[in-house]
Amino acid sequence: MDERLEKALEFSNYMVTLNNQKRALKEKFYNECVFYDNGGTFTITKEMITFVKVLVDKGNKDAVLIDDNDLPIMIDNLEKFYEELVTSYFEASNAYYTEYQKLKTKRSVEALTK
């Protein structure tokens, strides 16, 4: 096989593998951003964090939030709920960052799949 063609094929395989690994990391991050409280399922987003923070700042102690399944869920302690949201989000994003940094340094298909 022509050397240029071989290198092109090798690079193509590397890029496919890299993109698959990146997609897997992103999916893992999104899965770790699911938060369960009082029978409800909430996806942690920056918007959710901001909304709950506004409720806390306005002095609300409790509130009804609509979860991912469109169910009304009573949150009895908004401040605790907010702290748990923020903690979960930053744990997930820090893990995502750490794994992504490791991924960036790998320069072969073999290294990516280990």
Query: What is the number of residues in the chain?
Result: 114
> pTM, whole model, 2 decimals?
0.81
CA distances from 76 to 81, 103, 113 (A): 9, 41, 45
Q: Which 3 state secondary structure label does DSSP give 5? A: helix
Per-residue pLDDT of 32-43, as tens digits, reads 999 999 999 999
State the residue for tokens 């306005």: 58
State the residue for tokens 């290198």: 7
Q: Which 3 state secondary structure label does DSSP give 60? A: coil
* 6: confidence class by pLDDT, cuts 50, 70, 90: confident
